[in-house]
Structure 1
Amino acid sequence: MIDDFLAGDLSAVEEAVRKAAAAEIMPRYRQLAVHEIVQKSGPHDLVTAADRLAEENLTAALTALLPGSVVVGEEAVHADPAVYGALGGEAPVWIVDPVDGTRQFVRGETGFCTLVALAVRGEVLASWTFAPVLDQMATAVRGEGAWLDGQRLWSGPPEPGKVLDVAMSHPDFTTDDQKRALLGLGVEGVRARPCGSAGLEYLAIARGSLDAVAFSWESAWDHAAGLLLVTEAGGAHLTLSGEPFRIGDGNAMPFTAARTPATAERVRSLLTPA
């Protein structure tokens, strides 16, 4: 079933993502009422009406496109953590982050996106990254490459001797142990900064405009789409153990994704275990 789906026309998935953004996200862009913004775990962890309604829209649309599939979405897991367990099941799983970069969305900035990935037993097979304000759609299919608005993406190696630009977990979302691990990036030849939308940081790597990321959290909806995009553009990802990051597997944190395997290994070597 899944092979037939992937071999077919996947444009219906792209259309579903665009429709959800048009119906539920963009009408609320810079138009959010106070009651439409709610804190989850704290002031830096927000959810809006756009997040909830876009996820509901996508859940209905995506499961209709692939009968027998299920959805693991950020907001559904927040409501019921047991939903996350579907990542290890036999059914195809749509992994959904309706608004990746909610803080940026709330502030009326352009740096947010909608992320969708299709996975089976932890293996990500296809992904869609849509930045609605910028009207940019990046897609990837395992073994078939990565694309941005119809143009093939290839990350390519950093220029020899170039200072590496690395986006890392924002201090608001790291434990003390993780902060200590990320201190390894404070060396000559590396320029580290807090990350914005994870999905757009991964897209920047795939485009070759960012060298690497170093992230310290596992949430599948933040990483599934972008990690496939990066690998299909020629990049790589590694956990502290030297193994690739695998969705839902309890990976060694922090981990990195980068423009090339060699860049990923360099960044991994700097991430000192706590």
Structure 2
Amino acid sequence: MIDEAFLAGDLTAVQEAVRKAAAAEIMPRFRQLAAHEIVEKNGPHDLVTVADRLAEEHLAASLTAILPGSVVVGEESVHADPAVYDALRGDAPVWIVDPVDGTRQFVRGEAGFCTLVALAHRGELLASWTYAPVLDEMAVAIRGRGATLNGRALHAGSPEPGAVLDVATSHPDYTTPEQKRALLGLRTEGVRPRPCGSAGLEYLAVARGELDGVAFSWEYAWDHAAGLLLVTEAGGAHTTVAGEPFRIAGGNALPFTAARDAATAERIRSLLAGG
């Protein structure tokens, strides 16, 4: 069990662990990657670099030291052993880690990538950290305590009445024919869809009120856990196409959406359902 005092206490140690992993393993390789340090996992849009692997190892060591008895579910560890994902359904506290979210942007030498860490227990999200090292932006969300960006409170707010909704959506390469049809529902008057970049940074844009919503067709926890809590604690909402809360352990009806407020989430959901 997680001691509630852990969540109520000073969690700057987690922030520091995230910053140190980025400083040690990611930023020294930014715009410095050699060709042999970049590998395709499942195709040209699914890349992994030496920075991803080493940053995840760094975080796994530091985070489990901060919370003894916890385990790590990371993108690279699951790629090596899919059974690691089962920890999301177990009894131990779980750190959900995406060491470099937006690897394509990182490989291209662009600033639009981040490190994502979330803490969950028995399927419930408790805390999250979204760190964009090039921009030096650290967003933190603690269940029931709100969300901050570099120490300042985040409020997603609501779209202006009648305004066109800006929505970031899954890249077409990652969608099934059925999901493509659902996402086509967003191609309607009053909605301006566009392909997403780093999922973590898109969630941050929703939480800070710069983007109205996202609509995603894949459910890997490391891409979504941190951002979903961030949006929720900033006053936003999320729902699957079936009208159910997103479950981080999987088995969701897809696509799903997260948006600045509940009304916007429901509008996007209804468009996806009718796509």
TM above 0.5:
yes
> What SS does structure 2 have at the residue aligned with 1:185?
coil
Alignment of 1:1-274 (within 5 A): 1-272=2-273
- The question of whether the paired residues in 2 share the 8 Å contact of 1:183 and 1:272 is answered with no
Hey, what's the Cα distance between the residues in 2 that align with 1:244 and 1:234? 15
State the 1:224 CA deviation: 0.2
* Alignment check: 8 A CA contact 2:220 2:250 kept: no
Equivalent position amino acid for 1:9 in 2: D
CA contact (8 A) 1:240 1:273 kept: no
Give the Cα–Cα distance (whole angstroms) in 2 for the partners of residues 273 and 227 of structure 1.
24
Structure 1 gaps, min length 5:
none
TM-score of the pair, normalised by structure 1? 0.99
Matched-pair identity in %? 79
Query: Secondary structure, in 3 states, of the residue corresponding to 2:28?
Result: helix
Post-superposition offset of 1:272: 3.0
1:207-262 CA-to-partner distances (Å, cap 9, x unmatched) read: 00000000000000000000000000000000011111111131100000000000
Stretches of 4+ moved more than 6 A in 1? none
What secondary structure sits across from 1:243 in the alignment? coil
Amino acid in the other structure paired with 1:226: G
Whether the aligned pair in 2 keeps the contact of 1:204 and 1:210 (CA below 8 Å) is yes
Q: Distance in 1 between matches of 2:166 and 2:3?
A: 37
State whether residues 88 and 121 of structure 1, in contact with CA within 8 Å, keep that contact through their aligned partners in structure 2: yes
Letter in 2 for 1:140: A
The number of equivalent residue pairs is: 274
For residues 97 and 269 of structure 1, what CA distance do their matches in structure 2 show? Answer: 30
Distance 2:274 2:76 in 1: 31
Q: For residue 39 of structure 1, what is the amino acid of its counterpart?
A: E
C-alpha distance in 1, partners of 2:156/2:235? 6
Matches of 1:191 and 1:109, distance apart in 2: 24
**Aligned counterparts of 2:3 and 2:174: Cα–Cα separation in 1:** 35
SS at match of 1:24: helix
Q: CA deviation at 1:8?
A: 1.5
TM-score, with length taken from structure 2: 0.98
Amino acid across the alignment from 1:62: L
